[in-house]
Amino acid sequence: MTVARDLMTPDPTCVKEDQTLVDAARMMRDLDVGALPICGDDDRLRGMLTDRDIVVKCIADGGDPSTTTAGSLAEGRPATIGADDDISEALEVMQKYQVRRLPVLDGYDLVGIISQADVALALSAEETGETVAEISEA
């Protein structure tokens, strides 16, 4: 049985909820990623932040990314998967919530992220195609 832990990219870097969007954008640039988990002081997951969030939810609305915090863009409870959950469940969650990046938790600890790229590298073309189609559905 393939589990989330088998596909995930381990040890994700978090942006802290009190860091600014400029800090987050620099982290994304330096890590060459389009999204970061938002974590609190207790290192627990608070949400996910994408480069698109910074543009659409801050800059396009006239916000100041040098004063707007990552935590202010965390909305609701993020979709997650357990590290030892079957990969089919992870794919279902990604499709249901139309997320391209799925945080992986071991208990309350963030241990990894499964991205569309991870799915594409590990699964069949058919499974990958179905997942990408469902995630991208309007």
Residue 20, pLDDT above cutoff 80: yes
Quote the distance between the C-alpha of residue 94 and its chain's center: 10
Contact 116, 108 (CB under 8 A): no
For the chain, which residues make up each domain, given as ranges?
A: 4-136
The closest alpha carbon to 93, from 112, 75, 78, 108, belongs to 78
What is this structure's pTM? 0.86
Residue 132, pLDDT above cutoff 70: no
CA dist., res. 104 & res. 90, Å (int): 9
Q: Domain 4-136 belongs to what topology?
A: CBS-domain (3.10.580)
128's tokens: 């990958």
Contact 33, 23 (CB under 8 A): no
pLDDT, one tens digit per residue, over 25-77 is 999 999 999 999 999 999 899 999 999 999 999 999 999 999 999 999 988 88
Q: How far is CA 130 from CA 6, 11, 59, 99, 135, in A?
A: 20, 27, 33, 14, 9
